[in-house]
């Protein structure tokens, strides 16, 4: 008790300490500190030096060092180095080091718990991303989430289309009747158009359009359309009267005439060589094919120029193929030769008869 310590310190002083056999062992360190006037220092580095330890040691090392030093400096020990002041310093250093190690262990435990909590919270937030879709690594979950978004968008589009169709066809019976009548009108109109087209084709096949008035005559040059201004009307009249034709029409006509001339010339050259061809005739046919390929190349350049100036896309032309044209010439020659042989055979049969 506190009053006992005060009384002992005031009345007995250091004489009471000298008779150590009468004082309990547990009270001796406390009384020694009280009577010696020692004031403990809270310097952690000095405490470690007193215990002959280094910072970062374990709790067992601290206890072992304290026990060893207590055996040396304790007043009741039989050691020749027993000293109450040194023992008090050792005890104070022991308490300071114990408190330091305890504080460090608590701080480390708190940091570990905080790190665990942070990792768990980060992991929790991580798996709350991607709307909680998917399992596995982040890259795998991202791919699964992208596929999930595509599927969801597809479903939304299908639902939207379904709603539109339901709203369109969810009207009253009157609207449905109107739709039926409209569809019938469309079907009837298409049937009439097909019938008229069939009649026109049938009449053309019979020749009803061959003896029409005005056949072979040019169409009327000028139309009296009110939508054409007088200046444009007069310019068109002047151009037509002077035989003007657009450039693309002239190029088209020239290309057609050129390809027909080339086809007829190569067929004629093949007919001159005869069948079968000898070695000199084969060489001559090779030169004819080379010249024909050069002419086709020049003609294809004209086709390119024509495609640049033609105003209608559907009127553009494709290049002519040399191989296809030569094959066509051979087939034409074979057909002509076959007809000629047939006619010769008929003539011979007639003469024999």
Q: What is the mean pLDDT of residues 146-171?
A: 81
The lowest-confidence range among 74-83, 102-111, 176-185, 233-242 is 176-185
Question: What CATH architecture is 44-106?
Answer: Orthogonal Bundle (1.10)
Contact of 69 with 27, CB cutoff 8 Å: no
CA 99/CA 40 separation, integer angstroms? 14
Band of pLDDT at residue 7, cut at 50, 70 and 90: very low
Band of pLDDT at residue 182, cut at 50, 70 and 90: confident
Is pLDDT larger for residue 295 or for residue 312?
A: 295
Contact of 69 with 83, CB cutoff 8 Å: no
Contact of 232 with 225, CB cutoff 8 Å: no
Q: So what's the pLDDT on residue 222?
A: 57
The lowest-confidence range among 13-22, 63-72, 213-222, 246-255 is 13-22
Residue with tokens 């007043």: 75
User: What tens digit of pLDDT does each residue of 18-54 get?
Assistant: 343 445 554 555 454 444 444 444 478 888 888 888 8
CA 332/CA 270 separation, integer angstroms? 10
Q: So what's the pLDDT on residue 116?
A: 58
User: What tens digit of pLDDT does each residue of 249-268 get?
Assistant: 889 999 999 999 999 999 88
Copy the structure tokens of residue 168.
């369109």
Is the pLDDT reported for residue 134 higher than 90? no
Which among 22, 87, 25, 92 is positioned nearest to 12, based on CA atoms? 22
Which among 331, 293, 307, 332 is positioned nearest to 255, based on CA atoms? 307
Q: In which region does residue 222 sit, left (phi positive, over 0), alpha (psi from -120 to 50) or beta (all else)?
A: beta
CA 339/CA 194 separation, integer angstroms? 42
User: What tens digit of pLDDT does each residue of 75-99 get?
Assistant: 777 777 888 888 888 888 888 888 8
Q: What is the mean pLDDT of residues 201-226?
A: 73
Q: CB neighbours of 154 closer than 8 A, spacing ≥ 6?
A: none
Band of pLDDT at residue 298, cut at 50, 70 and 90: very high
CA 7/CA 315 separation, integer angstroms? 129
Beta-carbon-side half-sphere exposure of residue 195 (alpha carbons within 13 Å): 6
All structural domains of the chain with their residue ranges: 44-106, 132-170, 173-207, 241-346
Q: CB neighbours of 90 closer than 8 A, spacing ≥ 6?
A: 50, 51, 66, 69, 70, 73
Which among 20, 17, 33 is positioned nearest to 93, based on CA atoms? 33
Contact of 310 with 316, CB cutoff 8 Å: yes
Q: What is the mean pLDDT of residues 160-168?
A: 79
Percent of the chain at pLDDT exceeding 90 = 13
Q: In which region does residue 43 sit, left (phi positive, over 0), alpha (psi from -120 to 50) or beta (all else)?
A: beta
Please measure the distance between the N-terminal and C-terminal CA atoms of the chain and give it in whole angstroms: 165
Q: Over the chain, what is the mean pLDDT?
A: 76
Is the pLDDT reported for residue 302 higher than 70? yes
């Amino acid at each position: 008790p506190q009053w006992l310590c005060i009384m002992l310190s005031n009345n007995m002083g250091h004489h009471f300490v000298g008779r150590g056999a009468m004082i309990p062992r547990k009270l001796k360190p406390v009384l020694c500190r009280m009577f010696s006037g020692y004031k403990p220092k809270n310097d952690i580095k000095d405490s470690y030096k007193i215990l002959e330890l280094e910072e970062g040691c374990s709790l067992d090392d601290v206890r072992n060092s304290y026990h060893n030093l207590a055996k040396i400096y304790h007043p009741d020990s039989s050691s020749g180095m027993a000293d109450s002041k040194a023992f008090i310093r050792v005890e104070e250093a022991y308490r300071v080091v114990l408190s330091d190690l305890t504080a460090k262990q608590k701080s480390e435990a708190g940091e570990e718990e905080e790190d665990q909590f942070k990792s768990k919270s980060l992991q929790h937030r991580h798996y709350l991303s991607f709307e909680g879709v998917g399992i596995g690594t982040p890259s795998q979950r991202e791919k699964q989430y992208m596929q999930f978004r595509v599927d969801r968008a597809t479903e939304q589009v299908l639902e939207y289309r379904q709603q539109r169709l339901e709203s369109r066809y969810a009207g009253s019976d009157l609207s449905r009747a109107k739709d039926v009548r409209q569809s019938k009108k469309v079907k009837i109109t298409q049937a009439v158009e097909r019938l008229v087209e069939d009649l026109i084709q049938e009449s053309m096949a019979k020749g009803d359009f061959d003896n029409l008035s005005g056949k072979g005559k040019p169409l009327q040059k000028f139309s009296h359309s009110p939508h054409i201004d007088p200046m444009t009307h007069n310019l068109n009249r002047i151009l037509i009267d002077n035989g003007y034709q657009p450039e693309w029409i002239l190029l088209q006509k020239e290309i057609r005439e050129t390809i027909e001339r080339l086809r007829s010339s190569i067929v004629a050259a093949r007919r001159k060589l005869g069948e079968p061809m000898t070695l000199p005739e084969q060489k001559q046919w090779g030169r004819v094919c080379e010249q024909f390929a050069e002419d086709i190349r020049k003609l294809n350049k004209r086709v390119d120029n024509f495609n640049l100036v033609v105003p209608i896309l559907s009127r553009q032309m494709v290049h002519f193929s040399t191989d296809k044209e030569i094959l066509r010439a051979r087939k034409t020659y074979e057909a002509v030769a076959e007809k000629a042989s047939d006619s010769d055979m008929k003539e011979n049969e007639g003469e024999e008869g």
